[in-house]
């Protein structure tokens, strides 16, 4: 009996979909599709970085249409099934399986020790991205990754960077970047939200996580913006997770903003999809909004604005006259972000929606 284990549909432990449907065997199957290359992507996190890495899949599928693509990540929900054959969560079982395999191409896009170590021990004909050097420290696997590596170890090089994050990722793969868009698949289960069916919903993502709190815009500004939006017939919708819950409740109590609480990530994606525009600092919600092609007002202070690809959907607002670039602190005596006025944010929202 002929077994075609190089078929993209062959499972090895259970019947394939065509055997189940038509009772065919490998030797009499007309649905055979051979795997020509085996590709592994290691991109564990952060969540936003996983989302903004997805554009490279468009090019990867174009260059290697018959490849088996495997992606190892801490955020499987953000990896599109349409483009990736094996979406693997970061756990011991999957790591053991990967260690037993040999790939044609391995792309490690993370600089953390666990990713470096795994990339070093997995067998692959060609390895690109980042690998450990003789001291166990991060090093570029080849010249294609050198630019991204240098921006991480030298602040002055990072400040002078003119390349967007997707452009840097494409460069690591050896591709030219043509502004390929994010890919995000909404979960099939669509929750019901207590929101009217209108295009007037403006998402206000108030938090920034627990790192680099100088990115916070401030409760007072969110309250003032909510009042402006409500007066013009918009519905300000507060977005956030458990870290922002207390702040969002205070804002909702002191403004006309709507707050529905916190949600699991699957439902949060659908909630953001109800918005016509989103106001946010540099967060996961920013990348979700871009992936869903929402208008975006990005409040930025500490990051190099050139790294953000907004695909013509948004505008970046920064504190005027302040040199915040590269200031990775959790406190700021000048509260630079608060100098971005609610009026400017409101005017920008209207400008983007008219456009």
Query: What residues contact 3, with CB distance under 8 A and at least 6 apart?
Result: 10, 26
Q: DSSP letters along 142-154, please?
A: SGGGHHHHHHHH-
Count CA atoms within 13 Å of residue 298 on its CB side: 27
pTM for this entry: 0.93
Q: What is the mean pLDDT of residues 81-96?
A: 97
pLDDT digits (tens, 9 = 90+) for 107-136: 999 999 999 999 999 999 999 999 999 999
| Listed residue (99, 98, 97, 67) closest to 83, CA to CA | 67
Residue 341 exposed, middle or buried by CB count within 10 Å (0-12, 13-18, 19+): middle
Q: Tell me, yes or no, if the two domains 35-173 and 201-354 fold the same way.
A: yes
Q: What is the CATH number of domain 35-173?
A: 3.40.50.2000
Q: DSSP letters along 171-216, please?
A: HHHT-----PPP--PPPS-----S--S-S-EEEEE----SS-GGG-
Q: Parse the chain into domains and list their residue ranges.
A: 35-173, 201-354
State both tokens at 38: 């085996």
pLDDT digits (tens, 9 = 90+) for 266-287: 999 999 999 999 999 999 999 9
Pick the residue with more confidence: 325 or 81?
Answer: 81
What angle is formed at CA 25 by the lines to CA 23 and CA 26, rounded to 5 degrees?
A: 145
Chosen CATH of 201-354 out of 3.40.50.720, 3.30.450.20, 2.60.40.10, 3.40.50.2000: 3.40.50.2000
Q: Are 87 and 79 in contact (CB under 8 A)?
A: yes
Measured CA to CA, the distance from residue 270 to residue 179 in angstroms comes to 25
Measured CA to CA, the distance from residue 277 to residue 255 in angstroms comes to 19
The overall average pLDDT reported for the chain is 95
């Amino acid at each position: 009996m002929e077994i075609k284990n190089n078929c993209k549909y062959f499972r090895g432990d259970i019947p394939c979909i065509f055997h189940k449907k038509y009772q065919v065997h490998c030797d009499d199957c007309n649905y055979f599709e051979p795997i020509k290359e085996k590709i592994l992507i290691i991109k564990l996190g952060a969540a936003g970085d996983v989302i903004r890495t997805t554009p490279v899949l468009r090019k990867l599928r174009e260059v290697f249409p018959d490849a088996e693509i495997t992606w190892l990540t801490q955020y499987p929900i953000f990896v599109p099934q349409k483009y990736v054959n094996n979406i693997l969560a970061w756990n011991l079982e999957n790591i053991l399986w990967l260690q037993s395999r040999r790939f044609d191409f391995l792309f490690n896009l993370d600089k953390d020790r666990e990713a470096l170590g795994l990339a070093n021990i997995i067998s692959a004909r060609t390895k690109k991205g980042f690998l450990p050097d003789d001291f166990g420290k991060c090093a570029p696997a080849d010249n294609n990754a050198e630019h991204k590596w240098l921006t991480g170890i030298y602040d002055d090089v990072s400040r002078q960077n003119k390349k967007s994050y997707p452009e840097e990722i494409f460069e690591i793969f050896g591709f030219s970047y043509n502004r390929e868009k994010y890919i995000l698949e909404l979960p099939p289960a669509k929750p019901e939200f207590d929101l009217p069916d209108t295009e007037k919903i403006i998402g206000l993502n108030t938090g920034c996580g627990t790192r680099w709190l100088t990115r916070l815009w401030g409760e007072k500004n969110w309250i003032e913006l909510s009042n402006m939006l409500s007066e013009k017939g918009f519905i300000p919708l507060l977005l956030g997770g458990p870290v922002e819950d207390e702040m969002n409740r205070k804002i909702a109590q002191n403004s006309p903003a709507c707050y529905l609480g916190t949600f699991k990530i699957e439902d949060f994606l659908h909630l953001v999809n109800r918005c016509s525009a989103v106001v946010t600092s540099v967060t996961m919600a920013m990348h979700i909004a871009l992936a869903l092609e929402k208008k975006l007002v990005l409040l930025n202070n500490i990051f190099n604005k050139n790294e953000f690809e907004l695909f013509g959907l948004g505008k970046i607002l920064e504190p005027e006259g302040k040199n915040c670039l590269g200031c990775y602190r959790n406190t700021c005596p000048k509260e630079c972000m608060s100098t971005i006025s609610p009026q400017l944010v409101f005017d920008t929202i209207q400008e983007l929606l008219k456009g």
